[in-house]
Structure 1
Amino acid sequence: MKPLLLIIAYLAAVTLPLVLSWFFGGPPRLIHQELASGLGILAFSMILMEFVLSGRFKSISNGVGLDVIMRFHQVMARTALGFALLHPFLYRGTPSGGQRPWDPTRQLTITTDFSALFTGIAAFLLLPSLVLLAVGRTHLGYRYETWRLIHGIGALLIALLLLHHTTYAGRYGSQPAMTWVWLAMTGVAVGSLLYVYLLVPLRDKTRPWLVTSVTQLTPKQWELTVKPKGHSGLDYNAGQFVWLNVGHSSFSMKENPFSICSAPGAGPEISFMIKELGDFTRTIGQIPAGTFAYLDGPYGHLTVDGRTEPGIALIAGGVGLAPLIGILRQMRLSGDPRKVKLIYGNRVADQIAFRDELAAQDVVYVLSEPPESWHGETGFIDTALIDRVFLEQELSEWVFVMCGPAIMMDSVEDHLIERGTPTHRILSERFDYD
């Protein structure tokens, strides 16, 4: 029910200004002018709601999954862009010029005063740029923290420009009651930014962590472990993740999401399985013990706690093993009697992590580039392998938890649904989006 409630809440929030504008508005105009105003109102309210759909609010993302929230964030941003781009062109035929003597309240005409229109024109030009930078960020070569800063400042600037344009150039936004509505909604959006960039770092500053060890697991994979300093630690479920900041101020943009690979029942120390990929991860092996770290979390719904299925299927691709081995460790510590099967795929044999620890599990190893001496599965984690590993009853009754490359998860999810696995028994979470 939670996803449905979130959708209802979202629709109510973005349509509220439209409904109130109709209530407070004046006499009707030509249909294309009313449509233009309606699209502009919806675009602005959707843009303001994008601040809340940032993925950093646990009450929203933990219930339905970060990947669902972020995908919804993307779709709504592109929809708002479409509405915003159409908005000015539908005012065709609107009389030009300033205020009319017969319309002192601007109920029938729209102002063309440049001071009121300029902010709308600026937002009209900035919004496509912001969306395109977000869509192409992985291909542009700049750092994640640089993109995040640009994205946050750009979104804030667009919101403020649209607030001015709506309240000074809009027929409905200039109504006193609507001006207060837009001010309140913009305040919520700005408050969301302040929460993420100011309040959360302030809270994290009072709850520091210390790096206790950095252990090499494979040639390019490491296990980093931190312990709480001066506090009791983090209350989390196996399979969740945090935003990890190592060696920087709590206000630094240099934080990244990493899944927790330790078990809550093992004590206050928390471990992360990290692969060398970006600027931070390439230097992971050089981090000395005693380095300060900050954790923002936990986030995510990739957990089997409280579920009643008779068995758990874990499907990992590469470093996607991290949250799944955390689940295995917690099940072992708690004496969980449920059956478990793990499919673990990698490119080559020396990428297999925690091999000794996994020896006691029912594990199917898969290599896409196996050595001649390899006797396990070869190729990729595909639909044929799923059918070989799991029985018909397991496909319909077990819970399936997966983490890894998006192409693997998309293929496995589609196949499980085709084989009759209910969607509420398929758990996955992605950190990469197009």
Structure 2
Amino acid sequence: MRYSLKNGFFWLFIYILLGLIPMGIAVAGEIPEFRSFWIEFGVALGFVGLSLFALQFLYSGRFKWIAPRFGKDNIINFHREIGITAFFLVMAHPVILILAQPEFLAYFDPTVNFMRAMALSFVTVAILLITVTSIWRITFKLQYEHWRLIHGVLAIAIVFIGVVHAMQVSHYLEPLWKKIAIAAVMVPAMYLTIHTRLVRPWQNKNRPYTITDVKEEVGNCWTLSIKPVGHEKMDYLPGQFAWITIGPTPFSLQQHPFTFSSSPREPEIKFTATDDGDFTSTWKDIKPGTKVWLEGPFGSFTPKDDSHLFLIMGGIGITPAMSMLRTMREDNDPRKAILIYANKEWKDVTFKNELEELSKSIDLNVIHVLEEPPDGWDGESGLVSKDLIEKYLPDMPNEFMYYLCGPEPMMDIAGIALYDLNIKWKRIYMERFQIV
């Protein structure tokens, strides 16, 4: 599905409506006596902030009917920005109330109400922790599996304590029906995390896969070949991805998203990754016959209609392009494809031999860009830039769809360059997958 303003405004409208439901419940019916502006403003920020935290469960729940409207990259960035916004709103709630009326400090006084003070102190620390570890996880060298566990537990705790706090204060939620209504909205939101982490693995336990081959690729990369055991192979589109769990059971913290590098026409599913992470560094030691569990497919980073393909890829970000190009070969696809493929050195160029073969099978033009080219190199060198992209831009640019995947600096430069070159934003798709 292509991006569109219609879909964007529609889903933004739905999001705003959902975000205002808790405050709508609060002001429904008989409204309590008005206090000062700043107190009411602080309370409103608390309701909206809590609602945004709850909505985070929806946008992180891997729902296939959400991502196609915007793409996974946009969803991840939206999740991140809304999380930061919710952080400031919720933290502003007690600050404004205490500045407006210092007596509110009693809510944090254990001598007044020990359980309330401990709960509010905990949730304050939890909000700080969930935000800091999400923004600077790699800086803190926090393993993805541990961060994922911490993130899920803290998120549920924050929303749960927030709801209980609102009910206990009861200034706006005094009637029983309001308490029931708030619970009816918030509990399903919290359940989404439980559904993702526990229910889906349970539903998936009868659909195992097994690893048939572990192949070393150029550039310190490894490819896992996987086949289904006792069921049909997952049906996916080139450019999509799946969540992978390797081990005897699908119930594991070790679950990571990877793009399919194979064509869906192939009998086996293939994933390729570079050996530079806590999880992917173990791939070379995996033995054939090891069980694998897949959840998916997800993503909208896929070829659209009959448009030609303009691919700007960096490093191992080539994997979705390989799935697309291999599928074009299998289908005898007559469309044109232009691939700008950026790497540091020639020895690091994964799939370079196959790309050469593909260029003989389909209408593919491969432009290698090397940051550190070898002596005698007559191709492109340096970094991907606006001038380089413009050099290879087709004569009819709006007959192409544009796909960007690779290191974030490269994607930022390439994305801005395409906008500056008057490529319509609806024709540009980007995938970073920085969550791993």
RMSD over aligned Cα, in angstroms? 1.9
- Residue aligned with 1:278, SS: coil
Partner of 1:109: none
Q: CA deviation at 1:247?
A: 2.5
Q: CA deviation at 1:422?
A: 0.5
Identity between Structure 1 and Structure 2 (%): 31
Partner of 2:405: 403
Counterpart of 2:319 (choices 315, 319, 322) is 322
Quickly say closer, same or farther: Cα 1:429–1:376, change in 2 above 3 A. Answer: same
CA distance in 1 between partners of 2:186 and 2:102 (Å) = 30
What runs of 5+ residues in structure 2 fail to find an aligned partner? 1-5, 105-111
- Residue aligned with 2:338, SS: strand
Quickly say closer, same or farther: Cα 1:234–1:261, change in 2 above 3 A. Answer: same
Partner of 1:381: 384
* 2:21 counterpart of 1:23: no
Partner of 1:390: 393
CA distance in 2 between partners of 1:387 and 1:276 (Å) = 33
Quickly say closer, same or farther: Cα 1:363–1:127, change in 2 above 3 A. Answer: same
Partner of 2:108: none
CA distance in 1 between partners of 2:213 and 2:257 (Å) = 19
Q: CA deviation at 1:27?
A: 2.7
Partner of 1:139: 139
- Residue aligned with 1:370, SS: coil
Quickly say closer, same or farther: Cα 1:27–1:82, change in 2 above 3 A. Answer: same
| Counterpart contact for 2:61–2:192, Cα < 8 Å | no
Letter in 2 for 1:425: R
- Residue aligned with 1:273, SS: strand
TM (norm. structure 2) is 0.91
CA distance in 2 between partners of 1:61 and 1:283 (Å) = 30
Partner of 1:164: 164
Partner of 1:102: none
Partner of 1:104: none
CA distance in 1 between partners of 2:187 and 2:385 (Å) = 48
Letter in 2 for 1:325: M
Q: CA deviation at 1:243?
A: 1.0
CA distance in 2 between partners of 1:425 and 1:135 (Å) = 29
CA distance in 2 between partners of 1:323 and 1:200 (Å) = 25
Q: CA deviation at 1:240?
A: 0.4
Partner of 1:429: 431
- Residue aligned with 2:309, SS: strand
TM (norm. structure 1) is 0.91
Partner of 1:230: 230
Alpha-carbon deviations, 1:153-182, whole Å to 9, x = none? 111111221121110014113332221122
Moved over 6 A (4+): none
Partner of 2:292: 293
* 2:66 counterpart of 1:60: yes
- Residue aligned with 2:383, SS: coil
Partner of 2:350: 353
Alpha-carbon deviations, 1:55-109, whole Å to 9, x = none? 5222212331111111111111111111112212333454959xxxxxxxxxxxx
* 2:66 counterpart of 1:34: no
Q: CA deviation at 1:356?
A: 2.7
Quickly say closer, same or farther: Cα 1:95–1:63, change in 2 above 3 A. Answer: closer
Q: Which moved more, 1:14-23 or 1:234-243?
A: 14-23
Partner of 1:76: 82
Letter in 1 for 2:47: I
What runs of 5+ residues in structure 1 fail to find an aligned partner? 98-111
Partner of 2:14: 9
Letter in 2 for 1:337: P
Q: CA deviation at 1:117?
A: 5.4
Partner of 1:101: none
Alpha-carbon deviations, 1:382-423, whole Å to 9, x = none? 2111011113432x3311111101111111111111111001
Partner of 2:3: none
CA distance in 1 between partners of 2:329 and 2:100 (Å) = 71
CA distance in 2 between partners of 1:391 and 1:93 (Å) = 61
Partner of 2:338: 341
Letter in 2 for 1:11: I
CA distance in 2 between partners of 1:175 and 1:430 (Å) = 47
CA distance in 1 between partners of 2:375 and 2:100 (Å) = 74
Letter in 1 for 2:306: T
Quickly say closer, same or farther: Cα 1:227–1:113, change in 2 above 3 A. Answer: same
Number of positions where the alignment pairs a residue of Structure 1 with one of Structure 2: 416
CA distance in 2 between partners of 1:94 and 1:219 (Å) = 61
Partner of 2:209: 209
CA distance in 1 between partners of 2:246 and 2:190 (Å) = 27
CA distance in 2 between partners of 1:238 and 1:195 (Å) = 27
Q: Which moved more, 1:54-63 or 1:9-18?
A: 54-63
Quickly say closer, same or farther: Cα 1:181–1:118, change in 2 above 3 A. Answer: farther
| Counterpart contact for 1:238–1:263, Cα < 8 Å | yes
| Counterpart contact for 2:218–2:351, Cα < 8 Å | no
Letter in 1 for 2:365: D
| Counterpart contact for 1:119–1:162, Cα < 8 Å | no
CA distance in 2 between partners of 1:219 and 1:355 (Å) = 10
Letter in 1 for 2:229: K
Quickly say closer, same or farther: Cα 1:380–1:248, change in 2 above 3 A. Answer: farther
Q: CA deviation at 1:319?
A: 0.4
Q: CA deviation at 1:294?
A: 0.6
CA distance in 2 between partners of 1:202 and 1:411 (Å) = 42
Letter in 2 for 1:406: E
CA distance in 2 between partners of 1:402 and 1:226 (Å) = 26
